Amino acid sequence: MNSYKPLFRKDIWTFKNYILEIKNDKKRLIIYLLYIFWIGSILISGFSKLNKNKSDMSVSIGSEYIAALITFIGIFILMYNLYKGLNESSTFFSMGDVNVLFQSPISSKKILLYHMIKQSIINFFIYGIVILALLPTLGDLVNIEVRYLGFMYLGYISFLLLIEPLKFLMFTLITKYKIESFLSKMIYSLLGLIIVYIIYHLVKAEDLLKGIIKAMNAYYINYIPIIGWAKSAFMTAIYGYSSWSLIALILQFTLLALLVFISYNTANDYYEDVLSATNKRELRKKRKKGLKKRKNFFLFTKKGKVNVKSKRKGPWAFMWRAKVYYKRTDIHPYFSILTIFSLIVGLTVGYFTRNTEGIIPMYIANGVIAYIMFLMSSVYVSNHELTKPYIYLIPGTYIEKIIAMNLVDIIRMTVNAFMLNIALGLTIKASLVTIISLGLFLTSFYILTVFANFLVRIIFPNTIDHKTLFPLFFMLQILLMLIPGAIIGGIVATLTNALGFFIGVTVTNFIIVAILILLSSNIFERLEWK
């Protein structure tokens, strides 16, 4: 019998069951319909913007920024995944596969090939949603040539499709040839090289922004596999077509095919490698859901006993638990590796912008960080407490419990926010009022993302909903979180000055936070533990 047939049939059944389930659940059906409607509206608005003419000046600056940004993001994602690939294989499997499929008399190579291809096809469409959502913004910044939209999409997707097979292959080679230390040295050297490269350009340009853009847009980057090839294809829709665009794209997909082919031929005994990766992924899903627990620096992990005094009882046990966790995995319950990082960023930005007039760099730095925080908030939340029954069992009011659960994280982030602003403010000689207001601004933003996320997760605990509906939640979050602050901040700013904007946003944020906490506590009273 053909070995691929059972696999294929199984997936057809799974798909059918998903459809049936969504069809029978009115609430979800409505959400999904809304979602489709939303994608449709984005498509229309995106395409209508693409053809409008913009001034040449703004377009060339915009495309430079975009090119630099995608290079930077590409490098970041790649390096992060290479680093992770040292310790953990990637997985295309579920626990069902591990328990049922792996022991069956189907060749492990065929199983791998089938799942790699299946995952690639799924990702090909799923990841498209992100770029779709970004299309209107891109269209605002630059002229996008519609006929080369395909290049843009394929360039972007080829990069993402390459990541998992790359990680998988890397781990296979590590276990097969015991080359972990060699590879980790390679990766760290590569990272070092990149940092030196960026610093070189920074020093040469004597300007933060110009330096980074120069470094990221050097022409030879286009010839680097995975990142450069993807970038060349992606930028075709903005810069226009050249024969290199096509070659880069072909190279990129050839590389993908090659990786899959090599994996197919080297991986015959990979079950153990994917076991722990699969296990972890499913655990994460169960942990309500898609929440990755923030990984801390292994350098600081302490085994055995750590001492944390607990003064208050009841709900504050949550706080004690969080402190123990951080004390074990980080420098200090309240000071993290990020604190040092904030200090460095503050000093660096301050140093390179010390000649700029006024305190604009501070506004920009805080704005950018707040924006990144907002983007990351849907992915990274350290709240694993929600899956455990203790929030229902421990005596105390829900408001107290919700605050106690998040307080340590909030304090940690407050320390970082102030560290950054103090370091930056002192180097560029900003006033104390500015430093304090901006520190509070950043903190309020963090608290807002924490509680907004908290709320979303208790209302929609389902994994699959979460993954597929992510853009919808995202839009809702923008509506509810960013807009009120922006409006009030804008009003205050016109009445006073630019700093007024940040103060206005801060105050609004805290008001929304209070509302969110009340709402969460109200929902908890009606919720059951699942």
- Identify which of residues 97 and 409 has a Cβ nearer to other proteins in the complex: 97
Instruction: Find the shortest distance in angstroms from Cβ 147 to other proteins.
Output: 40
Instruction: Find the shortest distance in angstroms from Cβ 103 to other proteins.
Output: 5
Quick check: helix, strand or coil at residue 230?
helix
d(CA 336, CA 374): 20
Instruction: Find the shortest distance in angstroms from Cβ 121 to other proteins.
Output: 18
- Identify which of residues 140 and 269 has a Cβ nearer to other proteins in the complex: 269
d(CA 475, CA 378): 11
Distances (CA, A) of 220 to 223, 225, 229: 6, 11, 11
Handedness of CA 97, 388, 450, 328 (dihedral sign): negative
Length of the chain: 530
- Identify which of residues 101 and 154 has a Cβ nearer to other proteins in the complex: 101
Would you tell me how many other CB atoms lie within 10 Å of the CB of residue 318? 23
d(CA 191, CA 213): 18
Binding site for other proteins (CB under 8 A): 1, 5-6, 9-10, 13-14, 17-18, 21, 94-107, 269, 271-272, 275, 282
Would you tell me how many other CB atoms lie within 10 Å of the CB of residue 136? 18
Q: What is the DSSP secondary-structure string of 155-209?
A: HHHHHHHHHHHHHHHHHHHHHHHT-HHHHHHHHHHHHHHHHHHHHHHHHHHTSHH
Instruction: Find the shortest distance in angstroms from Cβ 379 to other proteins.
Output: 23
CB–CB of 108/271 below 8 Å? yes
- Identify which of residues 17 and 496 has a Cβ nearer to other proteins in the complex: 17
First to last CA, the chain: 42
Instruction: Find the shortest distance in angstroms from Cβ 89 to other proteins.
Output: 13
- Identify which of residues 106 and 331 has a Cβ nearer to other proteins in the complex: 106
CB–CB of 498/363 below 8 Å? yes
- Identify which of residues 1 and 495 has a Cβ nearer to other proteins in the complex: 1
CB–CB of 446/417 below 8 Å? yes
- Identify which of residues 285 and 293 has a Cβ nearer to other proteins in the complex: 285
- Identify which of residues 13 and 200 has a Cβ nearer to other proteins in the complex: 13
Would you tell me how many other CB atoms lie within 10 Å of the CB of residue 459? 12
d(CA 346, CA 15): 50
Instruction: Find the shortest distance in angstroms from Cβ 5 to other proteins.
Output: 7
Distances (CA, A) of 124 to 16, 130, 153, 378: 20, 11, 10, 22
- Chain-centroid distance of CA 136 in Å reads 20
The residue to which tokens 């999904």 are assigned:
32
Instruction: Find the shortest distance in angstroms from Cβ 462 to other proteins.
Output: 11
Distances (CA, A) of 125 to 131, 231, 329, 428, 450: 11, 19, 37, 47, 30
CB–CB of 261/80 below 8 Å? no
Instruction: Find the shortest distance in angstroms from Cβ 361 to other proteins.
Output: 47
CB–CB of 491/505 below 8 Å? no
Instruction: Find the shortest distance in angstroms from Cβ 108 to other proteins.
Output: 9
238 is written with which tokens?
């903005």
Instruction: Find the shortest distance in angstroms from Cβ 282 to other proteins.
Output: 8
- Identify which of residues 278 and 414 has a Cβ nearer to other proteins in the complex: 278
Would you tell me how many other CB atoms lie within 10 Å of the CB of residue 343? 16
Instruction: Find the shortest distance in angstroms from Cβ 112 to other proteins.
Output: 14
CA–CA–CA angle 509, 515, 520 (5° rounding): 120
User: 472-495 in b/e burial notation, b at 16+ Cβ within 10 A?
Assistant: bbbeebeeebbeebeebbeebbee
- Identify which of residues 29 and 203 has a Cβ nearer to other proteins in the complex: 29
- Identify which of residues 18 and 197 has a Cβ nearer to other proteins in the complex: 18
Instruction: Find the shortest distance in angstroms from Cβ 100 to other proteins.
Output: 6
Instruction: Find the shortest distance in angstroms from Cβ 254 to other proteins.
Output: 31
- Identify which of residues 420 and 469 has a Cβ nearer to other proteins in the complex: 469
- Identify which of residues 102 and 244 has a Cβ nearer to other proteins in the complex: 102
